[in-house]
Amino acid sequence: MLVTMVVMGLLVALSMPAMSAWIRNSRLRAASDSLQDGIRLAQAEALRRSHQVVFSLTDDKPTTTTYTAKSNGKNWAAKTVQRVSTTEPIEFIEAGVLSELDSSITVTGPKSICFNSIGRLVANDAPGTNAGQCILPTNTPPMQAYDITYSDAVAGRDRPLRVTVALGGQVRLCDPAKTLSSDHPDGCP
């Protein structure tokens, strides 16, 4: 019985680093999924409402239209953009968290992106109260990118992810360590 206990102890000790990496990568994936879901929600609401919607990163706990956009925010929020020719109020849609599971998760990307009524990216200098500015991508291929990583990344163990939003509205989660090809369909362009 003592030999069995020693063997079990050794197996647990050997599996701890792999289990720790798996847990970290699962938390990073959860934050990436939350970001991707929030972007897709903003896009779907723009289509459903036939109205421009802004998606923003923020450090505030957004529950109303009052929050401040930040390029490396720990949360996200989506709201409608007030039309120029009307006095209709800005409508808060939904908010979510990105790094609640692990405070060392960082998200870098544009403060805000705006979707027009057909679900495509659109530029807007003033999408609403403290929502920042929505600019169109100038890179090739034209897309906005959000990188989700750990601030204390461990090389070889952590797997950073990227959420891209193409000019035409395609939202995609990809692995920045791989280049998109027929061999790596999960790679980033």
The residue ranges of every structural domain in the chain are 23-188
Strands (E) across 12-58 are located at 53-58
Q: What is the tens place of the pLDDT at every residue in 120-170?
A: 999 988 877 677 788 999 888 899 999 998 887 666 677 899 999 999 999
Q: What is the tens place of the pLDDT at every residue in 46-89?
A: 999 999 999 999 988 766 667 888 888 899 999 988 777 767 77
State in words which class domain 23-188 has.
alpha beta
Pairing state of beta strands 171-179 and 187-188?
A: parallel
Q: How confident is the model at residue 189 (pLDDT cuts 50, 70, 90)?
A: confident
Give CA–CA dist 125/108, Å, rounded.
Answer: 20
Tokens representing residue 54 in the block = 């802004």
Q: What is the tens place of the pLDDT at every residue in 1-42?
A: 888 888 887 777 766 666 777 888 888 899 999 999 999 999
Summary mean pLDDT of the chain: 85
- State how far Cα 55 lies from the chain centre: 10
Query: Is 59 strand, coil or helix?
Result: coil
Spatial CA neighbour of 109 closest among 117, 118, 121? 121
Provide the pLDDT for residue 26: 86
